[in-house]
Amino acid sequence: MTILTIKTVPFADQKPGTSGLRKRVSVYSQPNYVENFVQSIFDSLEGFDGKTLVIGGDGRYYNDVAIQKAIRIAAANGFGKVLVGQNGLLSTPAASHVIRHHKAFGGLVLSASHNPGGPEGDFGIKYNIGNGGPAPERITDAVFARTKQIDSYKTNDAPDVALDQIGLHRSGGMVVEVIDPVADYAALMQTLFDFPAIRALFASGFTMTFDAMHAVTGPYAHAILEGLLGAPKGTVINGTPSPDFGNGHPDPNLVYCKDMYDLLMTPEGPDFGAASDGDGDRNLIIGKNRFVTPSDSLALLAANAHLAPGYKAGIAGIARSMPTSAAADRVAEKLGIEMHETPTGWKFFGNLLDAGRVTICGEESAGTGSNHVREKDGLWAVLLWLNILAVRKQGVDEIVREHWAIYGRNYYTRHDYEEVDAAVAGKLVDELRAQLPSLPGKTFGDDLQIAYADDFTYHDPVDGSTSAKQGIRIGFTDGSRIVLRLSGTGTVGATLRLYLERYEAAGGRHDLETQLALEPLIALADELAGIKQRTGRLEPSVIT
Ligand code: G16
């Protein structure tokens, strides 16, 4: 086996976004594209000689090719060992756990999350550090800087590793251990949740549908829900991962899980419906006749976490991304614990979790998780919901209504305008930003008075770092908010995200249809930002 140093030239577009580098497969499959990015990651790290690297992906198209490349580059750069999931599979939260559990130096997560897969779809690579979480900005910035300079990468001429064979292999001088992708993760879940109580819930006739969306959570859900927890066979649907996700869009929201949602709204439907995305970190929760928004789910899970054994001593604090509704803030206030508002991107929760300042984190983008790993975790959220349902012996709808009766309701929606011309979107944001200083004090309609208008800057209380321009916030005196930002995960043009929120206190009307309840804010957002006129779009592409 020989270590080879191959000459290369930089690509100009390897800037990591909200969560790693996501591009079309056609971009990733250019000669040296993967090699340049992986080598740039390793060039930005220090002290990994002889250490362990975890590699796993969501099984999407190109995973198998990219993993073999990454293994060779890791071997040639001096890693001592690679831990890789069988067939290259590891859900993102499982990869985070494997990094932590095996005290690895870090990991490569190969996924474009909820984006479609297949030859025409997307691919992605993300580096996670030794705490199991996505690399912080100082590392992703260094990686980007390196991608602009790189002139060679190291690899070897070893044959492909047989990723279907669990056990020890080699790539040159490096050990490659192929592991069961589910075992460590399933063991962790059993330390957090009351499995006997959830088993008893299923044994009592409680019914559930879990849609794995042909993605990575299939094997995990089969093993945990239908295996360890005794849910009837057939509880998990679309449970076999496929490289193009069954030609679907593995995004667990009301658009792509509409069939399940419709079923849950009928008397014949199951008691509980849930789904996860391409790489298993997002979740969708639907009760009978009740969709739970991710923002509400975060608040409810935080308020009820003590019912699960792993959190019975209480939670230290809660963190949410800035565009996520303030529902969780009210829970933190009642519990007398810390509450943090961070920029979009799970990487911003890492410091707070490591410092023990927060236990539960969540985002409006269907992500919730805790200090058990350093990623959001779809199945974890589903299991915590099941644990709560088993202990409270109530349905989802009843639990949600009781929560609103105590804390009030934050009506919340997100409108996405996808594949907008990037220049148009950039101008829209710039011009809205320029208006911000003039907005406070202005009143719109009968009672929408602007209390503040700014572009969110985050000051990390743990390491003192600052992240500016994280999204435009327009806040009103009644607690309503309009937030607008450009997505950092899209791969074509720009995706404009508009987030709208209105608070209705305890005792108020909690039964309005969400879009109706938010209508005045939706209209005002368009008036201020000129979305329809500038983009030429009359409707958002997706409403969640
Ligand atoms: C990623 C990040 C999340 C973020 C989401 C949406 O999730 O990990 O923190 O909320 O993207 O980001 P954006 O609004 O910039 O598109 P995932 O599930 O795609 O990895």
Per-residue confidence (pLDDT) for residue 255, from 0 to 100: 87
Which atom of ligand 1 sits closest to the CA of residue 115?
19
- Residue 55 CA to residue 78 CA, distance in Å, equals 15
The confidence band for 446, taking pLDDT boundaries of 50, 70 and 90, is confident
What does the radius of gyration of the chain's CA atoms come to, in whole angstroms? 23
Per-residue confidence (pLDDT) for residue 52, from 0 to 100: 98
CB atoms closer than 10 angstroms to residue 174: 25
The domain boundary residue, chosen from 377, 407, 437: 407
- Our count of domains for the chain comes to 3
Same-domain status, 125 and 45: yes
Token look-up 């890693």 returns 79
Active site residues: 113
Question: Best substitution site from 96, 295, 344, 380 to test ligand 1's pocket, by max atoms within 8 Å of Cβ?
Answer: 344
Residue with the bigger pLDDT between 381 and 508: it is 381
Same-domain status, 144 and 286: no
Question: Best substitution site from 489, 497, 542 to test ligand 1's pocket, by max atoms within 8 Å of Cβ?
Answer: 489
Q: What is the pLDDT of residues 341-367, one digit of tens each?
A: 999 999 899 999 999 999 999 999 999
Residue 137: CATH number of its domain? 3.40.120.10
Which atom of ligand 1 sits closest to the CA of residue 364?
10
Same-domain status, 403 and 417: no
Instruction: From residue 19, give the alpha-carbon distance in Å to each of 88, 245, 359.
Output: 20, 20, 21
Q: Are 541 and 418 in contact (CB under 8 A)?
A: yes
Residue 262, Cβ density class (10 Å: 0-12 exposed, 13-18 middle, ≥19 buried): exposed
Residue nearest to atom 3 of ligand 1 (CA): 345
How far from chain centre, in Å, is Cα 310?
A: 22
Q: Are 511 and 494 in contact (CB under 8 A)?
A: no
Which atom of ligand 1 sits closest to the CA of residue 277?
18
How far from chain centre, in Å, is Cα 351?
A: 17
The domain boundary residue, chosen from 407, 431, 463: 407
Residue with the bigger pLDDT between 347 and 82: it is 82
Instruction: From residue 177, give the alpha-carbon distance in Å to each of 55, 80, 257.
Output: 10, 11, 36
Per-residue confidence (pLDDT) for residue 104, from 0 to 100: 98
Model confidence, pTM: 0.94
The domain boundary residue, chosen from 181, 204, 234: 181
Per-residue confidence (pLDDT) for residue 493, from 0 to 100: 87
Q: What is the pLDDT of residues 34-72, one digit of tens each?
A: 999 999 999 999 999 999 999 999 999 999 999 999 999
Same-domain status, 205 and 249: yes
- Expressed in angstroms and rounded, the spacing between residue 426 Cα and the centre of ligand 1 is 19
Ligand 1 binding pocket, CB closer than 6 Å: 18-19, 113-114, 281-282, 321, 344-346, 363, 365, 367, 487-489, 497
Residue nearest to atom 1 of ligand 1 (CA): 19
Give me the domain span that covers residue 124: 3-181
How would you classify residue 180: left for phi > 0, otherwise alpha for psi between -120 and 50, otherwise beta? beta
Question: Best substitution site from 125, 128, 365 to test ligand 1's pocket, by max atoms within 8 Å of Cβ?
Answer: 365
Same-domain status, 401 and 422: no
Same-domain status, 130 and 194: no
Same-domain status, 281 and 401: yes
Q: What is the pLDDT of residues 408-436, one digit of tens each?
A: 999 999 999 999 999 999 999 999 999 99
Same-domain status, 413 and 403: no
Number of Cα atoms under 13 Å in the Cβ half of residue 428: 28
- Expressed in angstroms and rounded, the spacing between residue 113 Cα and the centre of ligand 1 is 8
SS3 string of 31-75?
A: CCHHHHHHHHHHHCCCCCCCCEEEEEECCCCCHHHHHHHHHHHHH
